[in-house]
Amino acid sequence: MRREKGLKKIEKTFRIPLPEIRKFIRDFHSEMQKGLSGGRGSLKMIHTYVEKPKGTEKGRLLALDLGGTNFRVVALELKGNRKMKAPLIEKFVLKKKHIIGKGKVLFDFIADCIKTFMNKHNMPIGAKQKLGFTFSFPVKKKGIASGALLRWTKGFSASGVEGEDVVKLLNGSLRRKGLSNTKVAALANDTVSTLVARSYEDPNCDVGVILGTGTNACYPEKDRMIINIEWGNFNKLRRTSYDCELDEDSGNTGEQIFEKMVSGMYLGEVARRLAEDLLPKIRFPGGFKSEYISVVESDTSKGLTITNRLLKKLEIRNSKYADRKFLKEACTVVSTRAARLAAAAISSVVTRMDPHLSKRHTVAIDGSVYEKHPHFSNRVKAAIKEIFGRKALRIKLVLTKDASAKGAAIIAAI
């Protein structure tokens, strides 16, 4: 009985009703304006020095996509008329010595990989070559091809990089490796690159969103420059006790509040705290990954046998069906809230540009949470329909996979 009462209370606590979404949108607009005006708000609203492509750009371009231990080198041919050839893509893996060693070693290795890629695909080493650089770490932009790393994230700590212009560091390595005619023409993050990649083919695309391990979005302001919102830091939100405890235990208390309620880095941890609170006999000493939420919510088997198999893998044996059923409900509560918050944020950005939804808008979305969770995308779409009614048809959400490297190449061509 305690569990049923607890579940009803939690469902009510995590529910995001329509009036709360409308307040979210008003607060989000206010924070956007603060950021654009140079005021102190939770949204950085960073000028990227990038505009949307016209779709007429042509050329053969290289791109580097660095955002984690795996990175990609891409060759892309733009044919104009909003057409492009299928890109050539090679993946490379960074070793520990590159991630936590000297920055010079890291960038020299990346330059070596670019050279390997060019040799493999018969690209002339000495020819002039523009390179687009997607660098998905916090950067203070100084121009289209200039940006200083504010701080490493995602487990990186290579020395001599924080505070330095990452474009200069990479160009220096390219020179040392005999690629002096290959130069970075544009620097962007994955969100901006996602918007640019989709908008080259679809002129209605004016929002780029990442819903994966982290979350962020961008859009073009009235002067056409794309603004990197850094919306993960939005903090005008009603939080539960579970959110507050997670925030207190994180390494960045008081920051990235929206991200801690929406992104793949944290969703599993919110679900774990909720489940352990109401299931005293179940503990997850090794943690509960966000990908497990997808496994549990996908389980339609009789007796939730797939969830039982997962729990055994996590060294939780002899779970009862009622426990598994509750775990599924807990996961659903957490992911549904995340989807509705994501819908509220997307709606805020679209109505910043077009308050009355008088035009069509394509939202390019990349990221594992949106792509791989079995119900997330449909829940986002349902919430947008709830917000706008029939006008929701003017907002088209499009999964735009692996766009970050292609977008960087297109930015180099703009």
Active site residues: 154, 190
In contact, 219 and 231? CB cutoff 8 Å: no
Question: What torsion do the CA atoms of 254, 39, 213, 95 make, to the nearest 10 degrees?
Answer: -90
Radius of gyration of the chain (CA): 22
In contact, 35 and 381? CB cutoff 8 Å: no
Residue 382 CB partners (closer than 8 Å, separation 6+): none
Q: Of all helices (H) and strands (E), which one includes residue 166?
A: helix 166-176
Pairing of strands 70-80, 46-51: unpaired
In contact, 71 and 64? CB cutoff 8 Å: yes
Q: Using alpha carbons, list the distances in angstroms from residue 154 to 11, 68, 181, 216.
A: 32, 7, 31, 15
The whole-angstrom separation of Cα 219 and Cα 192 is 8
In contact, 63 and 73? CB cutoff 8 Å: yes
CA atoms within 13 A on the CB side of 230: 19
Local structure of residue 394 (DSSP, 8 states): G
Sequence letter at residue 141: K
Q: Could you tell me which of 242, 228, 209 has the C-alpha nearest to residue 344?
A: 209
Q: Using alpha carbons, list the distances in angstroms from residue 14 to 108, 255, 270, 332.
A: 48, 20, 11, 10
- Residue 47's DSSP bridge partners are 227
Local structure of residue 177 (DSSP, 8 states): T
